[in-house]
Amino acid sequence: MDWLFAYQPDLDAICIGSLYALSQFIALRAGLFSLGSAGFGSIGAYAAAIVGMRHGAPLPFALLLAVAVAVVSGLLLSVPLARLRGHFQAVATVAFVEIVVSLALYFDDLTGGPSGINGIPKLVGTGELLLALTGMMALCTITERTGIGRAFGAIRQDDLVARSLGISVVRYHRLAFALSAGIAGLAGGLAAFNTYTIEPEQFGFGLLTASLGAVILGGRGSVIGPVVGTAIFVLLPEVARPLSENRFLLQGAMLIVVITFLPRGIVDSLRDRRALARERRDSSPPLVAARSP
């Protein structure tokens, strides 16, 4: 069991990172080009830390508040941003992340300014994190399997067609914003009670890159992808110690290689390959020839 203990911080990091990645994942599923997860995470983390530390609220209440505040801000943000598409939406959500960072720096009597909030009790361990991750993976899977997921899929492929099928794109985009914000808010709240300290810059461009990168690396097709992507990002520098100084170089190179040669991510590409192999075994050759590119 000792080795598990030694890697516990990594496991915690994977759980929190995976939650952010799931938040990014659900946005992409609905065809949103939103990169706002880091901002929602910040809002959740500060909400939880402030009520938990200053007002002595119990952990479940603090986490619930983190999710609630994040969902509300997600819904508010969705009102203007659901009107934007593509690059415009991406730029606007990056601006949102930066606004959250600068406001957290500015209102220092509430947030502690640049030094952040320190000495937060560690109430969240690996068990709670695993529980939360499982719960959110289940939530995302359920969303995928129901009509919501099919509507998301239709909008992602072509929002004009979705509209012609009677799907309210605005309403589903709002829902996606709320889901994405809620998951990120939970991640932020859990992180606040897991890592003792939060500060504004930790929820900036770096976190945005990491959560988007994890989804792309792992795959956008199922909930496993974001988790696998995060695990690779966290574990690779640990497994290969000499590489740890070049962590970002490694991440960057992986992102370029994966998006170029496995554009659907590791998990989904493997799954495709297996499905293709199964088909090759089961069916007659001409069908395979028609299928392969």
Residue 252 contacts another protein per CB under 8 A? yes
Residue 251 contacts another protein per CB under 8 A? yes
Closest to another protein by CB, 11 or 259: 259
Alpha helix (H) residue ranges in the chain: 2-6, 8-29, 37-53, 59-81, 86-106, 108-111, 126-145, 147-157, 159-164, 169-192, 205-218, 224-239, 247-261, 266-282, 285-291
Q: How far apart are CA 28 and CA 31, in angstroms?
A: 5
Closest to another protein by CB, 57 or 259: 259
Residue 169 contacts another protein per CB under 8 A? no
Q: Which residue has the tokens 């598409």?
A: 85
Minimum CB separation of residue 109 from another protein in Å reads 13
What residues from 23 to 62 belong to the interface with another protein (CB under 8 A)?
28, 33
Q: How far apart are CA 230 and CA 20, in angstroms?
A: 9
Residue 115 contacts another protein per CB under 8 A? no
DSSP string, 195-222: SS-B-GGGGSHHHHHHHHHHHHHH-SSS
x/- map, 224-243, another protein, by CB under 8 A? --------------------
Minimum CB separation of residue 236 from another protein in Å reads 13
Residue 91 contacts another protein per CB under 8 A? yes
Select from 19-27, 42-50, 135-143, 249-257 the region that touches another protein (CB under 8 A): 249-257
x/- map, 9-28, another protein, by CB under 8 A? -------------------x
User: Which tokens is 219 given?
Assistant: 């795959």
Cα torsion 3, 9, 14, 16: sign:
positive
Residue 76 contacts another protein per CB under 8 A? no
Question: In angstroms, what is the C-alpha Rg of the chain?
Answer: 20
Q: Which of 68, 90, 130, 139 forms a contact with another protein (CB under 8 A)?
A: 90
φ/ψ of residue 198, rounded to 5: -130, 145
Residues that bind another protein (CB under 8 A): 28, 33, 80-81, 83-84, 86-88, 90-92, 94-96, 98-99, 101-103, 105-106, 205, 209, 212-213, 216, 245-249, 251-256, 259-261, 263
